[in-house]
Structure 1
């Protein structure tokens, strides 16, 4: 008999992208008889994320609640990064539907609607979210003599005189990251897999110090674990001002061993794929790390950045260029979330747009492969500029994320 872990339902975006402003949603609402806010909520559907627990040990099953509790603390951190005072915002909203929509979006801006505000009196979303003072200009930032101002793991704030200062994440979120670290260490005591045990201990220390590289190396070295967790400040998409600041998130994962075995062959051909990129040799001189791998997982919990708006269905980490060059990256296909998006988004669209005699080609395996090769493509190309003046990410600043995603779409 299969044991299924059923976690709290997540909301899945029913649109991959939407540029609609609120007034356009009103028209749609009039056509369907829904209110404007109900029309916005109708872009999402609720799905349950499940996984087969039959191959987990008793200790692994005990680890999952601890990891979920740690993930929930990342959720609180991200609320602050994306907006600020969560309780003040939600407490000020009387309408239940509007409050729910704010929870989905981690703030009063519609993430699938170009960040348009949906609460009266709220202005445009700051490009720098809550990582920087809203009145700070780029020129003021660039002129500030603060060595760690471009760090992934600092806030820019003002002192009592109005001057800029930096505050490290582990200080701003001291209570939350300390508790999360304690939970990771408690989970590590239950871990049988030595690689997972080592990673959880190092990740706990990383949360306390904002020094993540050693734990990233340890995460790359894990090969035989079934339970996994991605946790901490990771992606920089939320910072649209510079693209410097990483946002807190967490995924609690269970590996699908059968599907992972099917994918193993693709990671081994990365060096050959790098050689075949149709660009001059100087742009493919770096070699992908030899420890890169590709696996399928069921995600049993999302928190923070990856839970805001639409849901992530695959990830390619770590982002640290030094780790990538030495070890490569791990590509995690989130199979149950992908299945939900296929069933709820792609298949219904195909029914409307694809001629009936071609619909047999619209399969989950094809959707899975398309997403997989997008993630494979993230690991190709160069990570450092050919002039030796730093990383590509540092050179491209706020444009780095969009260009990297475009590269992966085209190449994958």
Structure 2
């Protein structure tokens, strides 16, 4: 069953150590406390508060009753993510009496700073285990690989030790049985309110999936529903938290309102994927797979985040489901979270651009270009190759913990490739300079998430590769100026490199690339420090929930 975390004891001791000095001299304790408090206050200032709202005037009465139920289910996912990421949250939060420290712990779902390479920010807390709470804290990769354990690389199971120290696996639906049953009941109740048949079926199947760990039927039902206004993405989805194998998935939830007008405008691009796949700047063997064209592009206003997507840097676009077989047969749905994107653009990206983009190019940084760059990043996950060309299996299996960051880098660069081709074809409004310069500003925004996180590594690879290719220069005035011709050439070169590495499944080469180029170098770090000193936020933090939306909580049965 879900046993107490071995990390809980030192983390709790560290939290208590912030406010107790019984085992240290008064001066040492005060210095440690002051240093911790200064760090936390500085880091908290990097989160801009956002009131997460949307226009609900077009919803039916049933939809308005459904949303609080979906939010309650999402809150259970939030609690489960705490257990996966850290352990029992109440023990830690109850030990912390300082409000700012408690707030920062909540943002990070534990005592490690997610946007600073998981640096521990409470005294006495050691490095975050690569395997989070998916594995025993003292387990090594070699031990698991040699052990006779079922489901070693399972998406929906934990690895634990029995009383003799032997490793075994336990399914999520067993380890988290009681909270998952509560969440499933809430989804079932919400399904009874659903007026759209597709949404009703999806919520019913997702309810069943939570208590069986059989998610494929509900993923397919989610792709099949087309006319719903309310949406909910919920369950164990992304594997970034598993730093050992990039295998086990973390719980999260999004509650969404579809913007049907924006979604209609985006629909045409999916049909262009096969042609774009064939034009990829790489040898034919690395683009022989056919991307699904049943995928959708939709725009949403998000009204609630929970769990993994709410930790550290907030997700602003989603490409799901992750299952490669479903992607090949059914495609994916790319969801753009429009209101969250606008908040990041206004409060973070434009202040960064004004600070560091060359004044002659500042007018090229635009929200529509940002929206397109993010959107085609998600679409580009469907391009390229899912299986190695040399019999090593899927790219994900071959590259293991190196797969996620390289896949994010692929999506960044192939998204730019798509934008370039679509502007040339007249399918996107130009000029192309807007998209390239906006992407440059976007790198400076998202690299602040830290090179310890998959998206941060991806951005650092692009930044360092583009710099070496002369795609931008640092002017004497301290601004970044894009060379648009060299930028385009660098897109093609980096696309070729990434797709080749994925196709060959060469993990050693990917590790070497990460160590060489997916890093923050001193000159860039100085610029990032300057942004912090000027008080420009790193990310956003939400005030959210039924009360913020003007909705009354719905009683669950």
Per the normalisation by structure 1, the TM-score is: 0.90
Q: CA deviation at 1:225?
A: 0.9
Corresponding residue for residue 66 of structure 1: 69
Aligned counterpart, 1:130: 133
> Which deviations, in whole Å up to 9, do the C-alpha atoms of 1:235-282 show, x marking residues without a partner?
000011110110000000000111111111111111111111122222
Contact 1:290–1:326 (Cα < 8 Å) also in 2: no
Give me the CA root mean square deviation: 1.5
1:241 is paired with a residue whose SS is: coil
Looking at structure 1, the residues matched to 101 and 282 of structure 2 have their Cα atoms a distance apart, in angstroms, of: 49
Matching of residue 250 in structure 1 with residue 253 in structure 2: yes
Separation (CA, whole Å) in 1 of partners of 2:173 and 2:153: 16
CA distance in 2 between partners of 1:349 and 1:216 (Å): 38
Residue equivalent to 1:156: 159
Contact 2:177 2:211 in 1 (8 A): yes
Please show how residues 12-411 of structure 1 align to structure 2 within 5 Å.
Answer: 35-411=38-414
Match of 2:546 in 1: none
CA distance in structure 2 between the partners assigned to 1:191 and 1:291 by the alignment: 24
Tell me how far 1:94 sits from its aligned partner.
2.4
Distance 1:328 1:371 in 2: 18
Separation in structure 1 between the aligned mates of residue 64 and residue 289 of structure 2, nearest angstrom: 41
- Return the alpha-carbon distance in structure 2 between the equivalents of residues 300 and 205 of structure 1: 24
Native 8 Å contact 1:67 1:184 kept in 2: yes
CA contact (8 A) 1:250 1:304 kept: yes
Q: Distance in 2 between matches of 1:279 and 1:206?
A: 39
Instruction: Give 1:388 shift.
Output: 4.3
In the TM superposition, residue 96 of structure 1 has moved relative to its aligned partner by 1.7
Bigger mean CA deviation after superposition, 385-394 or 278-287: 385-394
After TM superposition, give the deviation of residue 110 of structure 1 in Å: 0.3
Residue 357 of structure 1 and its aligned partner are, at CA, apart by 4.3
Worse-matched range after superposition: 123-132 or 281-290: 281-290
Task: For residue 410 of structure 2, give the secondary structure of its aligned residue in structure 1.
Answer: helix
Work out which of the two has the higher radius of gyration on C-alpha atoms and give 1 or 2: 2
**SS of 2:400's equivalent?**
helix
SS in structure 1 at match of 2:247: coil
- Contact 1:76–1:304 (Cα < 8 Å) also in 2: yes
Alpha-carbon distance in 1 for matches of 2:396, 2:40: 38
C-alpha distance in structure 1 between counterparts of 2:364 and 2:222, whole Å: 37
1:23 maps to: none
Q: 1:326 is paired with a residue of what secondary structure? A: helix
Q: Which residue of 2 aligns with 1:6?
A: none
Deviation at 1:290, TM superposition (A): 2.7
Q: Distance in 1 between matches of 2:382 and 2:127?
A: 34
**Deviation of the 1:349 alpha carbon:** 0.8
- Gaps (5+ residues) in structure 1? 1-25
The worse-fitting range, judged by mean Cα deviation, of 243-252 and 376-385 is 376-385
In the TM superposition, residue 363 of structure 1 has moved relative to its aligned partner by: 1.5
- CA drift of 1:136 comes to 0.4
Q: Is contact 1:128–1:238 with CA below 8 Å preserved after alignment?
A: yes
Contact 1:318/1:329, CA 8 A, preserved across alignment: yes
Q: Give the secondary structure class of the aligned counterpart of 1:152.
A: coil
C-alpha deviations, 1:301-320, integer Å up to 9, x for none? 00000000110000100000
Greater Cα offset, 200-209 or 141-150: 141-150
What is the CA-CA distance between 1:55 and the residue it aligns to? 2.1
274-283 or 125-134: which moved more? Answer: 274-283
Choose 68-77 or 139-148, whichever is displaced more. 139-148
Structure 2 counterpart SS, 1:291: coil
String of CA shifts for 1:2-54, please: whole Å, max 9, x gaps.
xxxxxxxxxxxxxxxxxxxxxxxx9xx99xxx932210111111101111112
Deviation at 1:389, TM superposition (A): 4.2
2:70 partner SS: helix
Is the 1:189–1:197 Cα contact (8 Å) retained in structure 2? Answer: yes
Contact 1:221 1:291 in 2 (8 A): no
Counterpart-to-counterpart distance in 1, 2:76 and 2:275: 41
SS at match of 1:218: helix
1:56 Cα offset (Å): 1.6
Q: Give distance in 2, aligned partners of 1:128 and 1:58.
A: 44
| Equivalent-residue separation in structure 2 for 1:131 and 1:387 (angstroms) | 31
Is the CA contact 2:150–2:169 (under 8 Å) kept in the aligned structure 1? Answer: no
Provide the C-alpha distance between the structure 2 equivalents of 1:45 and 1:354, rounded to a whole number of angstroms: 21
Query: For structure 1, which segment, 397-406 or 85-94, has the greater mean C-alpha deviation from structure 2 after superposition?
Result: 85-94
User: Is the partner of 2:318 in helix, strand or coil?
Assistant: strand
The secondary structure found in structure 2 opposite 1:282 is helix
Report Cα offsets for 1:137-174 as digits up to 9, x if no partner. Answer: 11101011112121100100100001101111011111
